[in-house]
Structure 1
Amino acid sequence: MAMSAGPGEDGAPMSDINTTPLVDVMLVLLIIFLITVPVVIQTVPMEIPKVAFEPTTTKPENVSLSIKASPSGECEVYWGLTRVNAQELLDRAVAKLRLEIDKQGGPTAAGIELPEAHIRGDVKTPYRCIGGAVFTMQRAGFARVGFISEPPAGYRTERL
């Protein structure tokens, strides 16, 4: 007999599990992830300094800035993927900080965790561009402003 539709000949219930629906669902999820990952990972193209330091923890509330110089020498600052000028950067930073403080119960709440600003600076960017962005973020109220770098080739970090 090739297939059993009900209880076996001896009256015992069938104990085989049909895995076809599970495989179908897993294949659909795999396709969804393969399509969405390249969409989520979008960055401004630039060459980051090769410096090894401690790994950073990315949190959704942190601000990601990308800074590079245009061929004409003008500073280009990107909030995520959106290009902003100095005033827009200050306005967005103040609004982001106020939003995060309000989410955590207001300025008088205990144990407020403020977001951080992470700066990715191109190697060929003049200091005035990066320094200006750091100053603007500190002026907006960000206490922690850090830099994102890329470790040199072959570098391994070890966890303690």
Structure 2
Amino acid sequence: MAMSGGRDDGEPMMDMNTTPLIDVMLVLLIMFIITIPIQTHAVKVDLPQSDGKNNPPPLVEPVKNKLYIDPDGRLFWNGAQIDDVTLRQYLDTTVTMDPQPELHFQPDPQARYEIVDQVLAIIKRANVTKLGFVGNEQYRNDF
């Protein structure tokens, strides 16, 4: 059926005006969206509760040992010069400690790579799990 709005026959339009119905539907939709409660996403975490007793303080941070290699290839453990055998003994001792102390490794920039590689192999064979390279922050702007 063709629409009668385009004819000039003088008869009134017989189709229903749907514009007010669409307006009412849009108003109802907006009211429905506004009234929906905001959903909150929460992660429930069970926090420890204080029992009122004086609990012992947590363990103090473990000792941090510093291993330094100077430009001549000498090893220094916390400032004292050592050799490879003594280094392995110290590392074996620290691995058995609970908690295991951190090992801060700082080779000098002028130290030979071969010596640094040998020391890293000794550290790896000793199964040291807490190893950190310190002093690298001075090179952050070089690249």
Q: Which has the higher contact order (CA 8 A, sep 6+)?
A: 1
Quick check: which has more Rg, 1 or 2?
A: 2
